[in-house]
Amino acid sequence: MNNAMSPDIIVFNKDTDKYSELIEEIKAVRMPEDAFEISAYLESLGWDDDKASSTFGARDLFELSERLLESIGACHICVSPFVEASCEVGVFGKWKKSLRSFLRGIIFAFPMAISVASMLTVRLSLWAYDGLSVEMATSIAIGTILSFMAVGGFTQVISRRGYAYIDQGYYRVARKTTLYFLFLGAIFCTLLCLVFIGINLYFSQLPFNMLVVSILYYVFLCIIWLSVTVMYLLRKEFAFTALLSFGILLVYVLFYHAGLSIIVSQIIALSVVSIVTWIVLIFYFMSGESRSEKGMDVFMQRKSVMLYTLKPYFIYGFLYFTFLFTDRIIAWSSNSIYMPYIFWFRGQYELGLDFALLILILPMGVCEVLVSDMMEKIDRAMKCGWLEDSKLTQSKSLPYYVKSLAAIFLSAVFSAVSVTAAIFLIRNYAPFGISLDIFFNSTTMFVYFVGALSYCFLSVCLANIVIQFSLSHPDSVVKNLFISLLLNFIVGFVFSRWFDYYWGITGLLAGTVLLSVLTTIDMLKIMNKTDYYIYKSV
């Protein structure tokens, strides 16, 4: 204490890197309300009067706290979090952050885009080939749909829990939690596979060769979807895109040059990609753990508590992929044409939906940028104390949300127009010998245009859902998705039986429109009580 009161130390020195680091550390927690709060925080870090005096020339810890409060307030105290970023972030930094978010958003659609491009150029992908018999295409379709529905819930819970740990640098507990859910996922996928085999043996629906192909694709695709989830969790999206491209190249070599059948070529490629992906994932986890700060870790949450809190996200994952594939299941089970089995693949229907999916690339990037920016502003509002004035928060956050949602929908419409124009240009000019004549039939074009409109509304749904998940508000999402799934099924079933099988796509349109309305209504409620939902999520 004598050093703190020494008359020799009379100049406060704030022109140091340590002082700036201390300011940033305090701001990272929240905007302090007074010097007492800063003093308490500094004491928790081990600061005392002697350290404040020797480091900055302060009389005591409280003077240091007052100086820090002045410095922090000069930068942030009067800045609206919904108007501009903090004063350290320039225009270049803001654009750089937006570009990074945009690329992260569209990277989700890269595997789909690569698969479509490979189908147009070399007529195959890692799990598709336009020369397959309808029997084999049906087998692969069954395995693919089952794989998405089986792992959908686990992809959500792995992402939800894993991101929370990795963002804090807790790679060890993130790895343990991820492996735990991967283990549960493997058990669930195995049980579902056994149930599928048992049902098929009892009812004798598929012949043995079709059953074997369905199971093989189901198993390998389950492995790949789970590994993709972990890749995104570790922010290694480009790595999987590269592995997918390698897998397609391997199929191309084995099929066109080695003379193997397309099924054998794809099974070999799927197995190789699965093995290599998991080797890469192990390496990434080990690298992350080696870089994380030693001694900084937490224990894995109790499994019973973790399973209970993540239950809504698991249900959402299952319902979401069921929602996306319901129209296919309904359309492909309609017996308006030759139906040797209860489920029969329709290539023209699938082609229309594959092209419609390309529309999601641009709005997903825009969604990532705007939603990330909105959540960052809300987080800054909380730290700066804006949420204490609910009317002020509502007046700022609600218009920003409406503008963001409109921008996402308009980007989807622009994407739809661009993809449609590209399809017609390719048909007219046939660059690189690409032909799209197969696209121009009444069935494919009807499915494409209705599917394109459906995905425009889906982009709005996903934006609302991401925000509600960020605010830990999943229950209403699950309820709305379940209601929309029922409408999807009813409309698709009725129209496909009244008119023709491809009218099943109208169920997807009805479901996405309803889901966008329901999620938007919930978001307007949240924006009217932003302070309540923010503190509830914390």
In the chain, the N- to C-terminal Cα span, in Å, equals: 39
β-bridge partners, 124: 129
Half-sphere exposure of 435 (CA within 13 A, CB side): 4
Report which of 462, 461, 526, 476 is spatially closest to residue 108, judged by C-alpha positions.
462
Residue 366 CB neighbours (<10 A):
25
Position 277 pLDDT exceeds 50: yes
- Residue in this structure with the two tokens 């990532």, named with its chain if needed: 368
Residues contacting residue 347 through CB under 8 Å, at least 6 positions apart:
130, 134, 137
Residue 283 neighbours by CB distance under 10 Å: 10
Residue 80: is its pLDDT beyond 60? no
Residue ranges of domains in the chain: 17-76, 122-301, 343-538
Q: Which residue has the higher pLDDT, 240 or 139?
A: 139
pLDDT band for position 6 (cuts 50, 70, 90) = very low
Q: Are 352 and 444 in contact (CB under 8 A)?
A: yes
Q: How confident is the model at residue 1 (pLDDT cuts 50, 70, 90)?
A: very low
Distance CA 527, CA 405 (A): 13
Round to whole Å and give the CA distance between 475 and 115.
Answer: 34
Highest mean pLDDT among 55-59, 173-177, 274-278: 274-278
- The neighbouring-strand residues paired with 129 are 124
Pick the closest to residue 462 from 520, 418, 534, 396 (CA basis): 520
Lowest mean pLDDT, pick from 7-16, 487-496, 523-532: 7-16
Range picked from 292-306, 369-383, 496-510 for highest mean pLDDT: 496-510
Q: Could you tell me which residues come within 8 angstroms of residue 186 by beta carbon, excluding any fewer than 6 positions away?
A: none
Lowest-pLDDT choice from 285-289, 312-316, 392-396: 392-396
Is residue 204 within 8 A of residue 254, CB to CB? The reply is: no
Contact 292, 171 (CB under 8 A): yes
Please answer whether residues 132 and 206 qualify as being in contact, where contact means their C-beta atoms are separated by less than 8 angstroms.
no
The SS3 call for residue 385 is coil
Cβ contacts of 282-289, under 8 Å, gap ≥ 24: 284/234, 284/236, 284/239, 285/171, 285/174, 285/175, 285/234, 288/166, 288/171, 288/174, 288/234, 289/171, 289/172, 289/175
Residue 276 CA to residue 268 CA, distance in Å, equals 12
Which of residues 279 and 37 earns the better pLDDT score? 279
Tell me the three state secondary structure of residue 80.
coil
Mean pLDDT of 409-420: 93
Per-residue confidence (pLDDT) for residue 132, from 0 to 100: 83
State what percent of residues in the chain have pLDDT above 90.
30
- pLDDT category at 315 given cuts 50, 70, 90 is very high
- The reported pLDDT for the residue numbered 238 is 78
Token pair 């009892």 in the structure block, residue: 202
Can you give the pLDDT at residue 291? Answer: 62
Tokens 């104390």 belong to 385
State pLDDT tens for residues 362-406: 888 888 888 877 777 766 665 555 545 455 555 667 788 888 889
Residue 537: the pLDDT is 55
Chain centre distance of CA 471? 15
The string of pLDDT tens digits covering residues 33-79 is: 667 777 877 777 777 877 777 777 777 877 887 877 777 654 444 44
CA-CA distance, 122 to 131, in Å (whole number)? 11
One-letter amino acid of 501: Y
Residue 186 vs residue 86, higher pLDDT: 186
On whether the CB atoms of residues 523 and 467 are closer than 8 A, the answer is yes
Greater confidence (22 vs 402) lies with 402
Cα 250 from chain centroid? Answer: 28
Q: How confident is residue 509, by pLDDT bands cut at 50, 70 and 90?
A: very high
Tell me, what's the pLDDT at 477? Answer: 93
What is the C-alpha to C-alpha distance for residues 374 and 377, in angstroms, rounded to an integer? 5
- In which band, very low, low, confident or very high, does the pLDDT at 519 lie, cut at 50, 70 and 90? very high
Q: Which amino acid is at 236?
A: K
Q: Are 257 and 118 in contact (CB under 8 A)?
A: no
State the pLDDT confidence band at 336, using cuts at 50, 70 and 90: low
- The DSSP result for 215-240, as a single string, is HHHHHHHHHHHHHHHHHHHTT-HHHH
Tell me the C-alpha distance between 126 and 115, whole Å: 7
Provide the 3-class DSSP secondary structure of residue 292: coil
The whole-number average pLDDT for the span 347-369 is 87
CA distances (Å), 502 to each of 324, 353, 354, 442, 494, in order?
15, 11, 14, 10, 12
What is the per-residue pLDDT across 132-167, written as a single tens digit (0 to 9) for each?
Answer: 888 888 899 999 999 999 999 999 998 888 777 777
What whole-number percentage of the chain has pLDDT above 70?
80
**pLDDT band of 436, cuts 50, 70, 90:** confident
Average pLDDT over the chain, rounded to whole? 80
Task: Inform me whether the pLDDT recorded for 504 exceeds 80.
Answer: yes
Of 81-95, 390-404, 450-464, give the range with the top mean pLDDT.
450-464
Phi, psi of 124 (to 5 degrees): -150, 165
Q: Which pLDDT value is given to residue 479?
A: 94
Amino acid, single-letter form, for residue 414:
F
Tokens of 453: 């409109």
pLDDT score of 81: 47
Residue 14 pLDDT = 66
Residue 7, pLDDT score: 44
Residue 385, exposed/middle/buried by CB under 10 A (0-12, 13-18, 19+)? middle
Phi, psi of 129 (to 5 degrees): -160, 130
Could you tell me the pLDDT band of residue 205, with boundaries at 50, 70 and 90? Answer: confident
Mean pLDDT of 95-111: 73
